[in-house]
Amino acid sequence: ENTPGVIYIGRLPHGFFEAQMREYFSQFGDITHLRMARNKLTGRSKHYAFIEFGSGAVAEIVAKTMDKYLLFGHLLQVRRIPAEQVHEKLWKGEGGRFKVMPRNKIEGGMLKRGTTREGWEKRIERETEARTKKAAQLKELGYDFQ
């Protein structure tokens, strides 16, 4: 088989990241793509990854050999993914270091900047609408607030 083969690897232990996976799985054959799923907020591993080998036969051998392999106290789950099930954007974000967005700094900057007069008026309008709607619902139930 000269067509590339993709495998899914689940239950990856902590510390077994992209560099270690590339080093370990390259013993089976050429790795064309490798992508580990990571949390967008923290950048930490989601403990599963996808690897594409240059040959489908190699991918099949890896799936059979490494399935239920005990690695650092974790039993790996390795499955071969059929070519028709491989999403075209599977390898998006592959390679390179994962950079965590400093969301707290971004949010803090937005709070420091404040808002415009129109923004405040819009907020107040939305709040009064919500309160009148809630008061109407409560009045239907028999509660009367003034």
pTM of the model: 0.71
Residue 25: per-residue pLDDT? 97
Quote the percentage of the chain above a pLDDT of 70. Answer: 99
Query: How many CB atoms neighbour CB 40 within 10 A?
Result: 10
* Helical segments of the chain, H only: 18-25, 56-66, 103-113, 117-141
CA separation for the pair 101, 54 (Å, rounded): 34
Residues 33-72: tens digit of each pLDDT: 999 999 988 889 999 999 999 999 999 999 999 999 999 9
Res 146 pLDDT > 70: no
Does the structure show a pLDDT above 80 at 145? no
Per CATH, the homologous superfamily of domain 5-82 is: RRM (RNA recognition motif) domain (3.30.70.330)
